[in-house]
Amino acid sequence: MLAKRIVPCLDIKDGKTVKGINFVNFRDAGDPVELGAQYSREGADELVYLDITASHEGRKTFTELVKKVAANISIPFTVGGGINELKDVDRLLSAGADKVSINSAALRNPSLIEEIAKNFGSQVCVVAIDANYENGDWICYLNGGRIPTEKHLFQWAAEAENLGAGEILFTSMTHDGVKDGYANEALSTLADNLHIPVIASGGAGKMEHFRDTFAAGKADAALAASVFHFGEIGIADLKQYLNREGINVRI
């Protein structure tokens, strides 16, 4: 069985790492290059960097940041934010990223998934899905959780896989930043219906939440931000705990 992955996520705004609750109320969490290097040393399996206010000017800044990250860490990392066309993917991979994450652009133009998979390989294409639980259903959102769509989580994830996505990164907006555990029921349904890895995001507050998302949620990887950024959970400690709980992780 493949080892479960621990993935710190760094949301980047104006060149700094920030963290919010339910996608708002951001606070500064430190230098993204230093944090990434620290997580790499501590045993994180991968990192995700998201340019959460990707604008035309921001892209140049973010590309320079990606180059610095690549020079300072020794683990794979994914970048996302403002990726709308193949040249954006090429620019970020050339700067040193291993994978790209697309969200709003994929919803608006699903063929972008196919293009990335065809030109760079499925393993490069992570389709991120921000969904909120409303009236008994999971509704997908655009623009960092600001605009609801007519897409539903399970159908959209299956469509993304069919188009060539290599992984699905599912963030529950309902659980984001609340630290009450991941959306394990929805994650388990995704895992049962897909043939590609599922990354859990939104809701980590304590070590048990990671154990539960791997066991009950059947997630392949667990992404978290504030519990790592603010020193609430150490990655080495978390992996030792998971190992004791019978979860297969790289130590």
pLDDT at 60: 76
pLDDT at residue 94 greater than cutoff 80:
yes
pLDDT at 29: 66
| Mean pLDDT value of segment 50-72 | 85
| Mean pLDDT value of segment 33-53 | 94
How many angstroms separate the first and last alpha carbons of the chain? 15
Rounded to the nearest integer, the mean pLDDT of the chain is 93
Query: What are the tokens at 153?
Result: 């989580």
pLDDT at residue 1 greater than cutoff 80:
no
Confirm whether 11 is a catalytic residue. yes
pLDDT at residue 27 greater than cutoff 70:
no
Q: What is the C-alpha to C-alpha distance for residues 14 and 149, in angstroms, rounded to an integer? A: 28
**Catalytic residue chosen out of the listed positions 51, 130, 176, 220:** 130
Q: How far is CA 140 from CA 70, 211, 232, in A?
A: 31, 26, 30
For tokens 């020794």, name the residue.
Answer: 74
pLDDT at 22: 58
48 touches 9 (CB < 8 A): yes
Higher pLDDT, 170 or 61: 170
Q: What is the C-alpha to C-alpha distance for residues 172 and 12, in angstroms, rounded to an integer? A: 19
pLDDT at residue 23 greater than cutoff 80:
no
Q: What is the C-alpha to C-alpha distance for residues 160 and 127, in angstroms, rounded to an integer? A: 7
Q: Is the dihedral of CA 15, 52, 228, 218 positive or negative?
A: negative
Q: Are strands 147-152 and 137-142 parallel, antiparallel or unpaired?
A: antiparallel
| Mean pLDDT value of segment 85-104 | 96
Question: How many residues are there in the chain?
Answer: 251
Q: With bands split at pLDDT 50, 70 and 90, how would you rate the model's confidence at 239? A: very high
Task: Tell me which amino acid residue 64 is.
Answer: E
pLDDT in tens, 136-186: 999 999 988 889 999 999 999 999 999 999 999 999 998 887 789 999 999
| Strand ranges (E), the chain | 5-13, 16-21, 24-30, 47-51, 77-80, 99-102, 125-134, 137-142, 147-152, 167-172, 198-201, 221-224
Share of the chain above pLDDT 70, in %: 95
pLDDT at 57: 66
